[in-house]
Amino acid sequence: MRKIIIDTDTATDDAIAIIMALKCRDLDVVAVTTVAGNVDINLASTNALYTCELCGYKVPVYKGASGPLKRKLETSKFFHGKDGLGDTGPYKPKGKIRKTNAVDKIISLLKEYPNELEIIAIGPLTNIAKVYKKDPEAFRLIKCLYVMGGIGEGKGNITEFAEFNFWVDPDAADIVLNSGIDIKVIAWDVTQIYGFLDKSNFIELQAINNKISNFAINIQRRGLEYYKIKYNEQKIDLADPLAVAVMIDETGTYFKNCEVKIILNGDKRGRDTYNFIDSGKVKLATKVSRENFLKILKSSLK
């Protein structure tokens, strides 16, 4: 089994991504680490712990950064709701968040499983950047880092220039994406093309009708309303679940080798720009199998 850490700012799409990873027989989720982003660090942590408990998994959850490296935290509660789960709660986990700080736990797990541990980062990259700054030796023991973030070759979702995770903490994104380890980036552009759910997808998911599938659907309601009002569309883009689907099975996913620059300030803050090269450590997903994504999503909710 592949040993992984999920680093998350647990809100509505993160929760589905966590369910997909936990339910995948090939993945051994050794820890969930939380970071402030969609919501504050305490909510991100209780949402993560609740989601793991709902799936019947006793996965340790460790609290990480309560804000970006240099900036003030700006959340996306306008989309995910005040509780981060579509304001469909309250969701009170039974267990407790572990005492060890997430950054220290990631470092110790990297030393315990050198060159074996994969990390999927589905929130701002603050924790990952802190691991690099605190212990660059340990950081280089990451087997592969999957990142949901950036606009790729498309447009932004929080501003026209930037995707939310990179916009919240552009300094962390810049450090991590230029750290020299193997990184696979699943950005907002491929999310919109391959990672959306429309009305027909929701009808299929509603038919599953169990506590996990109903939770996964219910927490999307507020986001669906947002899309209806803002775009007059009955759909929602699920960035984090698409990234986990790519991590689980890269069949049908194509990548381009690249070097990445992140704009740190100004109106283009958080923007990722790419220089495509023949071979390099950072790979940007340019095509993802929607069929694979839907197959993995559906089987994880059953």
Q: What residues make contact with ligand RIB under the rule CB under 6 A? A: 9, 11, 13-14, 37-38, 76, 122-123, 148, 157, 163-165, 188, 239-240
Q: Which of 9, 13, 171, 189 is catalytic?
A: 9
Supply the minimum distance, in Å, between the C-beta of residue 42 and Ca ion.
Answer: 16
Q: Tokens standing for 215?
A: 């939770």
Beta bridge pairs of residue 185 = 147, 284
Supply the minimum distance, in Å, between the C-beta of residue 116 and ligand RIB.
Answer: 25
Q: Exposed, middle or buried, 72 (CB in 10 Å: 0-12/13-18/19+)?
A: exposed
Residue 143 in 3-state DSSP?
coil
26 is catalytic: no
Of the candidate residues 16, 24, 110, 122, the single one contacting Ca ion (CB under 5 A): 122
- Closer residue to ligand RIB (CB): 175 or 186: 186
| Phi/psi at 186 (5° precision) | -110, 110
Pairwise CA distance, residues 242 & 3, whole Å: 19
123 binds Ca ion (CB under 5 A): yes
- Closer residue to ligand RIB (CB): 62 or 164: 164
- Closer residue to ligand RIB (CB): 8 or 179: 8
Supply the minimum distance, in Å, between the C-beta of residue 80 and ligand RIB.
Answer: 7
Q: Which does 195 bind (CB under 5 to 8 A by kind): Ca ion, ligand RIB, none?
A: none
- Closer residue to ligand RIB (CB): 75 or 289: 75
Return the range that interacts with Ca ion (CB under 5 A); candidates 117-125, 130-138, 175-183, 288-296.
Answer: 117-125
Cα-based distances in Å from 238 to 72, 194, 198, 291, 299: 26, 9, 11, 14, 16
Minimal CA–CA distance to 123: which of 32, 10, 31, 285? 10
7 binds Ca ion (CB under 5 A): no
Token look-up 């572990």 returns 98
Pairwise CA distance, residues 270 & 151, whole Å: 9
Task: Give the residue numbers marked as catalytic.
Answer: 9
Q: Which residues are at the interface with Ca ion (CB under 5 A)?
A: 9, 14, 122-123, 240
